[in-house]
Each structure stands twice: as C-alpha cells, then as structure tokens.
Amino acid sequence: MKVNDKLFKTVWLEDDVVKMINQPILPDRFEIRECKNHAETAEAIKTMIVRGAGAIGATAGYGMAQAFIQGEDIEKAAELIKNTRPTAQNLFYAVNKVLKAKDKEEAVKIAEEIAEEDSEASKKIGEYGETLIKDNDKILTHCNAGWLAFVDWGTALSPIYSAKRKGKNIFVFVDETRPRLQGARLTAWELGNEDVPHAIIADNAAGHYMKNGDVNLVITGADRIAANGDTANKIGTYEKAVLAKENNIPFYIAAPTSTIDISCPSGENIPIEERDEKEVLEVRGVKLSPEKSHAKNPAFDVTPARYITGIITEKGVIKPNKEDIKKIINP
C-alpha cells in the first residue's frame, strides 16, 4: 500500500511486537498502532483497529506467535483470540495453524507464512479478477476489501488495482457502508491514493444506479464462505446481490481459499456478529438518534449462492457450488 509515497503492509511483526495501521482514525490521520502482547493484539482485532478478513487472520497468527515468544498459556491465548470476532473464517484458520507449532521459532515461521500467503493470494485474485473487467466499466463495491482488509493488495479491490495498472479506464461506486463507514472512510481513501476515479454513494443509492444502467459489475469481499457457496460479508452485501440479480449485473465475491469453511454446510450455519448499538446510534461520538431509541447492529449478512455469479480466488474463478468448492480446496 502506498501512503505518501511510502510502501506499507497493513500488519506485520517486529520482534515480539505486532504493528498495524490504525484504521478507525483514517482518513483523518495515518498512524501505526503497536501491540506488545497477544492480549493487546486480540483487543485490536475486537475493537477493529485492524479489520478485514485477511488482515484479521494475519493479525491472529501474529498474536499467537506473540504468546509463544512470551511464554504465555497457548491454549488460553488461542481461546482469547478466537473470541474476538466470530464470523471471520481467516481468524480461526490462522489460530489453529499456529496452534500446531512446537516452539516459538516455528510459531513465528507459520505466522509469517500465513501473512505472506495472504499477500500472494490477494495479488493472484487481482490477476484473475482483472480479466472480468472491461475498459470503461463502472464497478460497485461494498465495505472495504482492499489493501487495508488484507496484508497487501486486498480482494475486491485487487482486480480494480490490476485493471488500473493495465491501463483500463474504470470508475468505482463506493458504498458508504453504514454504520462504520468503511467504504466512505477506507475504500475511498485507498482509491484516492491509487488515483482510481470513484464516487462515494449512500448505501441505499446502489439500486438507483443499477437500474439506470450505470453499474456494469459488482465485486465484494467475504468473511466466510460456506461449503455450498453461501457467503457472509459486511451487512448490506445481500441486498446488493439481490439488486444485481434483478438488474442482470454480474455479482462476484473475491476471497482467498482460506476464507472457505468447508466444515460449514451452508450460510445458515455461519455465526453473525452483533456489535454495539452505539455504532448505529452515533457517528464518531456524535449522537444521531433520540435518547430513548435503541438499535440493532448485525455486522454481517449472508448472500445465498444463487445470487453469486462467481468466486474469484487465488486459484481461479469458480462457481459458488459444492462441486467447484471441493475441487479448489482438494485439487
């Protein structure tokens, strides 16, 4: 990721300190947060200092490596980290992988491999996804599945960056993504840094632009993909998929194979995180609603496979069905 002409990854490990871009304060300020132990790293995941499927996974792996390095109770550390965000499959993938390490050296090696795999997978997703983008396409995306959501490159935005580098003329509609505004704050910030033409739109404006023929393609990320192709992603993704289907617009999910949970039969089995109602009732500490009002705040929804045109992975573009998913997981 290029920030002020300097290259950064979203999260990395230095000695026994996990360093990450502090995402809640973007785009106002750019700052690196340091987590000195696995408990601080777990808290950073829970409070969304770091967020996005791949970045959460890499951070969880690094948190486990910290526990090994600092001689903590490994099982307790694993439990603490697993309890931070229930929906993101990459988190559980990383924790379980590092949990198998025999010592701190192996734990660090595995954690670094997870981060490197995430970066490489994201780059390949960009290469495969770029072939789906035509010159002059207008693409809609939801939430943030770019550099900031992964160690590097991202998923939903990776094909866009690849298309831009190939000289394709593209435009991106950026859903604001209430309640935490990851689209308006993070995706727009990324696209601006990359000089990609874009416009932020209210979440409930997407249908208007689809119906008017202004959107050629929809690409979003994913936090967990079930064995049958049902996909959990940021709240509001499901309605975008339904709108795309209604308006005959291709709807793609971009995600590495580590996001696929082969043990999860369908979307009905994916746990949906319910976050603090304050995220809906307030924006950056400013109250929007009457004092006596309460809110519901599911962080994710599930898009059934029937609404998904294809899944862009680091191994190619597949159909969202059991057969194709099994082939790509067990080639």
Residues 151 and 253 in one domain: yes
Alpha-carbon gap, residue 64 to 156, rounded angstroms: 27
How large is the average pLDDT for residues 231-240?
Answer: 98
Residues 212 and 302 in one domain: yes
Residues 165 and 238 in one domain: yes
DSSP 187: I
Residues 115 and 135 in one domain: no
**pLDDT of 132-149, one tens digit each?**
999 999 999 999 999 999
Residues 35 and 137 in one domain: no
Here the CATH number for the domain that contains residue 227 is 3.40.50.10470
Per-residue pLDDT, 4: 78
**pLDDT of 9-22, one tens digit each?**
999 999 999 999 99
Alpha-carbon gap, residue 244 to 213, rounded angstroms: 11
**Domain boundary residue, one of 105, 122, 139:** 122
Catalytic residue among 16, 223, 230, 261: 223
The domain tally of the chain equals 2
Omega prior to 271 cis, within 30 of 0:
no
Alpha-carbon gap, residue 220 to 222, rounded angstroms: 7
**pLDDT of 172-208, one tens digit each?**
999 999 999 999 999 999 999 999 999 999 999 999 9
Helix (H, G, I), strand (E, B) or coil at 139: strand
Per-residue pLDDT, 331: 58
Quickly state the pLDDT bin for 24 (edges 50, 70, 90). Answer: very high
Residues 152 and 234 in one domain: yes
Alpha-carbon gap, residue 35 to 42, rounded angstroms: 9
Residues 208 and 136 in one domain: yes
Tokens linked to 187: 């995706």
DSSP 228: T
The helix, strand and coil proportions of the chain, stated in percent and rounded to the nearest 5, come to 40, 20, 40
pLDDT reading at 171 higher than 70: yes
pLDDT > 70: percent of the chain: 100
- H or E element at residue 13: strand 11-14
- Beta-carbon contacts of residue 291 (< 8 Å; ≥ 6 apart): none
**pLDDT of 295-309, one tens digit each?**
999 999 999 999 999
> Is 223 annotated as catalytic?
yes
Closest by Cα among 75, 244, 221, 86 to 144 = 221
Distance of CA 88 to the CA centre of its chain: 9
- Look up the domain containing 285 and give its range: 128-329
Helix (H, G, I), strand (E, B) or coil at 125: helix
Residues 211 and 314 in one domain: yes
Per-residue pLDDT, 232: 97
Alpha-carbon gap, residue 237 to 71, rounded angstroms: 41
Per-residue pLDDT, 42: 98
**Domain boundary residue, one of 122, 155, 173:** 122
Alpha-carbon gap, residue 123 to 256, rounded angstroms: 10
Average pLDDT score, the chain: 96
Here the CATH number for the domain that contains residue 25 is 1.20.120.420
Per-residue pLDDT, 2: 75
Residues 268 and 232 in one domain: yes
Residues 178 and 244 in one domain: yes
Helix (H, G, I), strand (E, B) or coil at 175: strand
Closest by Cα among 303, 238, 309, 301 to 273 = 301
The structure's pTM equals 0.91
Burial (CB < 10 A; 0-12, 13-18, 19+), residue 127, is: middle
Residues 242 and 214 in one domain: yes
> Residue 6: how many CB atoms within 10 A of its CB?
8
Residue given tokens 């990383």 in the structure block: 94
How large is the average pLDDT for residues 266-280?
Answer: 96
Residues 135 and 110 in one domain: no
**Domain boundary residue, one of 99, 122, 145:** 122
Alpha-carbon gap, residue 243 to 148, rounded angstroms: 27
